[in-house]
Chains A and B, each alone.
Chain A
Amino acid sequence: MSHGLPSPLPLFDRILLRTVAKAVPFSEREEWLDTWQAELWHVYHCSRNRRSRTFGVIADLSVGLTCDAVWLRTDSWRRAFSGTAILCLVSLLGLCVLSTLLGLALSGSWHSLSLNLGGQFKRFLIETPLVVFVTFATASHRHLEQNTPGKKIYWIKRQLFFTTKTALVLLLAFLLSVDVCMPIRMSLLYTADLLQILFSVFFSLIGLRWSFNDREQRCKQCLRSLATPARVGRPSHNLLEWNGSELICKQGHGLLSIPEMETSWCQASQWVEQTPGWDQAASA
């Protein structure tokens, strides 16, 4: 919808609108421009606003239109990236960077930080396979993906994402354990070494458990986090019917059924793929 103005806006406002409009997502740009042109026009031509006051209002509205454009842009990013695999990896990477910067601040220089990290990283490389083995061995099998149907490319995507995420989680656990023990390293070297091992194992175990849970609760196609959890069935009817919770992919790729209890007829979580156009078929 495009609206013409009975008289044009001042040059400054037109330049401001054109400049700020670039921040607005393309699909919403035209409507945003119409909204703000009408608002500004109203301020200039409204009889209640005296000239001396108009400039103050226009200055305030300039801030408002900029905030509005920025809000629309961030909201479009939120809709595009919320729950995605990319956001998950970027967040983990960001935490690793923050953790490194914290380590740098605590140690005072890159040289002493690299000396600290170098020695402990070798020990961490020995610990890690043990922690990974224990986590894999103790992970509940019903939470493991079993014969999830789908194309090979989706399987490769899932494995790549899981491997990268797990590697980042382990790196973060290591960096955090170093940061935590840094303040006592100078005075109590051996205690700090021992604590660092304990903390790195502890953080790694927590991180890996999260990584497993997160893997289960993602769409098997687009790898977005599944949403809108819903309870299905009644726990008191456990021997008669299935009960548990269901999560769906917001993009409509499928539905995950997680049984509350492991039973002989339903041992593992089940991914039910939706065929394209299922929503139209359901509403028909």
Chain B
Amino acid sequence: MSTLRLSHSAALILKALSLGYCFGFDVMEVTGLPSGTVYPALRRLERDELVVSKWEPEEEAASNQRPARRYYEVTREGKAAALAATQRYPLLAHLVPEKHS
């Protein structure tokens, strides 16, 4: 299987998602990238099937008195692409800290 070559920004976003930052805003905060880069990149990653987006369950959001948010999950192809990107950009691993829930 050939993995997609990602730009540095896309690789950074994918790395953040694979470390557990699943909302667009969280990705923005942890990567320091502007929203004009993050949200279109998330769309592209979704189009290339490296990530999938889902809606939080309504009940869970309602119990916390907030609206349900759209979150992103890395697919199997996305994990392979993230691994390839980490090999290509070794500093990526140090740029994004692991999420502590």
**Could you say which interface size class chain A belongs to?**
20 to 34
Contact, CB under 8 Å: A60 / B65: no
Kindly list chain A residues whose C-beta atoms are within 8 Å of the C-beta of B23: 39, 42
Binds A, one of B3-11, B13-21, B66-74, B83-91: B66-74
Given contacts A63-B34, A72-B43, A75-B43, contact A35 B67 (CB under 8 A): no
Q: Does B38 contact A (CB under 8 A)?
A: yes
Contact, CB under 8 Å: B34 / A64: yes
Scoring A residues 14 to 44 as 1 if CB is less than 8 Å from chain B, else 0, what string do you get? 0000000000000000000011011101110
Contact, CB under 8 Å: B39 / A3: no
Q: Does A67 contact B (CB under 8 A)?
A: yes
Q: Does B58 contact A (CB under 8 A)?
A: yes
Scoring B residues 54 to 97 as 1 if CB is less than 8 Å from chain A, else 0, what string do you get? 01001001000111111000000000000000000000000000
Contact, CB under 8 Å: B36 / A67: yes
Residue on B nearest A39 in the bound complex, by CB: B25
A82 to B47, CA, bound (A): 15
The one of A1, A34, A41, A67 in contact with B39, judged by C-beta atoms closer than 8 angstroms, is: A67
Kindly list chain B residues whose C-beta atoms are within 8 Å of the C-beta of A68: 39-40, 43
Q: Does A61 contact B (CB under 8 A)?
A: yes
A209 to B57, CA, bound (A): 57
Contact, CB under 8 Å: B43 / A39: no
**Could you say which interface size class chain B belongs to?**
20 to 34
Kindly list chain A residues whose C-beta atoms are within 8 Å of the C-beta of B35: 60-61, 63-65, 67
Contact, CB under 8 Å: B69 / A39: yes
Q: Does A6 contact B (CB under 8 A)?
A: yes
Q: Does A4 contact B (CB under 8 A)?
A: yes
Residue of B23, B61, B69 contacting most chain A CB atoms (<10 Å): B69
Kindly list chain A residues whose C-beta atoms are within 8 Å of the C-beta of B61: 3
Whole-angstrom distance between the Cβ of B23 and the nearest chain A Cβ:
8
- DSSP class of B's interface residues: helix, strand, loop or mixed? helix
Whole-angstrom distance between the Cβ of B64 and the nearest chain A Cβ:
10
Residues in A51-74 with C-beta less than 8 Å from chain B: 60-61, 63-68, 71-72
Residue on A nearest B55 in the bound complex, by CB: A1
Q: Does A157 contact B (CB under 8 A)?
A: no
Scoring A residues 232 to 252 as 1 if CB is less than 8 Å from chain B, else 0, what string do you get? 000000000000000000000
Residue on A nearest B38 in the bound complex, by CB: A64
Whole-angstrom distance between the Cβ of B50 and the nearest chain A Cβ:
16
Whole-angstrom distance between the Cβ of A241 and the nearest chain B Cβ:
29
Whole-angstrom distance between the Cβ of A32 and the nearest chain B Cβ:
10
Contact, CB under 8 Å: A45 / B66: yes
Kindly list chain B residues whose C-beta atoms are within 8 Å of the C-beta of A75: 43, 47
Whole-angstrom distance between the Cβ of B71 and the nearest chain A Cβ:
10
Kindly list chain A residues whose C-beta atoms are within 8 Å of the C-beta of B37: 67
A61 to B28, CA, bound (A): 10
Given contacts A39-B24, A75-B43, contact A6 B67 (CB under 8 A): yes
Residues in B22-54 with C-beta less than 8 Å from chain A: 23-25, 28, 34-40, 43-44, 47
Contact, CB under 8 Å: B68 / A38: yes
Whole-angstrom distance between the Cβ of B10 and the nearest chain A Cβ:
13
Contact, CB under 8 Å: B25 / A43: yes
Besides the contacts A64-B36, A71-B39, what 19 more A-B pairs have beta carbons closer than 8 Å? A1-B55, A3-B55, A3-B58, A3-B68, A6-B66, A34-B67, A34-B70, A39-B69, A41-B67, A42-B25, A42-B67, A60-B35, A61-B25, A63-B34, A64-B28, A64-B38, A65-B35, A68-B39, A72-B43
